């Protein structure tokens, strides 16, 4: 869906209007979700909600880049402090649902629905982000259908970038799927059953998002000092630490490891996702901005997420689950080794030099 809606935004409709429409439709689907009473109906309704929601992540980047560039702002230094507010919203949502007792109730879907609809309506007030007109008189069927973003795979460096995006998307999915479950499973151990970690696992996990806000703001500095390849490499090494610390952490004497893992998550997530988004923006043509961002999102939160959830689920069920009990230590060690291998391959094979011009350096410093 991110790739498809990116094509639509590049060719047919203003990006901010499409963004608002998708949020409103997603909110309606979310509001309907608590009314269903069968697993099959639940699956189809939540699928519909995600079809509307997932494209909004890449569209929000596209809208932001368009508005910033139209007003002569430098996206490398200005975008991260704007993007940080998305993470603030994530933290607020986690705390509100957890502290209000709605972490696992139908009310969380109503909270999501109201938020989505309000955001959708607000989106129509943003500056216009119209489709780019093709200045080239010669057009072919690929250009007409907006499929030219997929031609990026012809470029070796871009193809490798998207492959690594898929691999990192799988790593992110491991955290999304198992992080909160891992902490909640400590309840099965008598010595940890009444711990703060078990009672407020969502709040503990929100430390990751608080960390995000700090590392997002640090991205311009790291890009200037180390370049975009090294920043993305740091992200992969951070995933190694994220999973490794979880392997040896617990709610008592190992609590510091769990907290440090959540802090490291901010670097792991931001340094690839935000820097990767900036990499796509600065290496692709403006006429395929939304399509390229959608393709990046498809590889991370689409293909990567599906492969990560499917393969990890199979491995955990076959090798690391006995009598319904998961061996979390071994699971996280395997995930950590996976991230380390990806980091080593990336460091050796991905060739890219990110040179900021003098004007960009001056803006980053000041």
Q: Which pLDDT tens digit goes with each residue over 29-54?
A: 999 999 998 999 999 999 999 999 98
Assigned token pair, 134: 């093709």
Residue 169 covered by a domain: yes
Q: How much is the pTM?
A: 0.70
Q: pLDDT at residue 215 above 50?
A: yes
* pLDDT of amino acid 366: 44
- ∠ at Cα 269 (355, 236), nearest 5°? 70
Residue 301 covered by a domain: yes
Looking at the structure of the chain, the number of domains it has is 1
DSSP state of 189: S
**Greater pLDDT, 146 or 345:** 345
Among 79-88, 174-183, 239-248, 275-284, which stretch is predicted with the lowest mean pLDDT? Answer: 275-284
The alpha carbon torsion through 163, 168, 170, 175 (nearest 10 deg) reads -170
- CB 364 within 8 Å of CB 77: yes
- ∠ at Cα 280 (274, 282), nearest 5°? 100
Residue 12 covered by a domain: yes
Assigned token pair, 101: 């007792």
Domain that holds residue 163: 2-127+151-365
Residue 280 covered by a domain: yes
Q: List, for residues 118-144, the tens digit of each pLDDT value.
A: 999 999 999 988 886 655 545 554 454
Residue 267 covered by a domain: yes
Q: pLDDT at residue 275 above 50?
A: yes
* pLDDT of amino acid 252: 83
Residue 146 covered by a domain: no
- ∠ at Cα 169 (214, 119), nearest 5°? 60
CATH number at residue 83: 1.20.1250.20
276: three-class secondary structure by DSSP: helix
Residue 133 covered by a domain: no
Share of the chain above pLDDT 70, in %: 89
CA nearest 69: which of 285, 353, 352, 344? 285
Q: pLDDT at residue 365 above 50?
A: no
Burial of 353 (0-12, 13-18, 19+ CB in 10 A): exposed
Q: List, for residues 164-202, the tens digit of each pLDDT value.
A: 888 888 888 888 788 878 888 888 888 887 777 777 777
Residue 179 covered by a domain: yes
């Amino acid at each position: 869906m991110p790739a498809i809606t990116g094509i639509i935004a590049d060719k047919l409709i203003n990006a901010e209007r499409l963004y608002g429409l998708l949020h409103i439709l997603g909110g309606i689907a979310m509001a309907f979700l608590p009314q269903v009473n069968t697993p099959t109906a639940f699956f189809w309704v939540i699928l519909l909600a995600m079809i509307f929601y997932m494209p909004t992540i890449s569209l929000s980047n596209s809208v932001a880049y368009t508005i910033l560039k139209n007003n002569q702002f430098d996206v490398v230094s200005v975008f991260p402090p704007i993007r940080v507010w998305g993470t603030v919203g994530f933290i607020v949502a986690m705390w509100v649902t957890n502290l209000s007792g709605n972490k696992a109730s139908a009310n969380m879907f109503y909270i999501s629905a109201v938020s989505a609809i309000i955001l959708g309506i607000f989106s129509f007030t943003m500056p216009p982000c119209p489709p780019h007109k093709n200045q080239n008189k010669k057009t072919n069927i690929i250009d007409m259908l907006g499929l030219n973003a997929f031609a990026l795979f012809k470029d070796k460096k871009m193809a490798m970038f998207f492959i690594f995006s898929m691999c990192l998307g799988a790593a992110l999915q491991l955290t999304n799927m198992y992080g909160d479950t891992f902490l909640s499973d400590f309840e099965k151990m008598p010595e940890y059953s009444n711990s703060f970690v078990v009672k407020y696992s969502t709040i503990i996990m929100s430390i990751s998002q608080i960390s995000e806000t700090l590392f997002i703001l640090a991205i311009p500095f790291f890009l200037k000092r180390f370049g975009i390849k090294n920043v993305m490499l740091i992200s992969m090494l951070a995933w190694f630490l994220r999973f490794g610390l979880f392997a040896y952490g617990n709610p008592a004497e190992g609590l510091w490891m769990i907290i440090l893992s959540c802090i490291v998550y901010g670097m792991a997530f931001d340094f690839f996702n935000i820097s990767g988004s900036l990499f796509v923006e600065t290496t692709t043509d403006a006429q395929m901005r939304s399509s390229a961002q959608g393709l990046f999102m498809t590889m991370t939160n689409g293909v990567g997420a599906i492969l990560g959830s499917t393969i990890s689920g199979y491995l955990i069920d076959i090798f690391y689950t006995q009598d319904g009990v998961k061996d979390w230590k071994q699971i996280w060690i395997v995930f950590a080794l996976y991230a380390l291998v990806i980091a080593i391959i990336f460091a050796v094979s991905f060739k890219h030099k990110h040179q900021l011009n003098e004007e960009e350096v001056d803006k980053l410093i000041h």
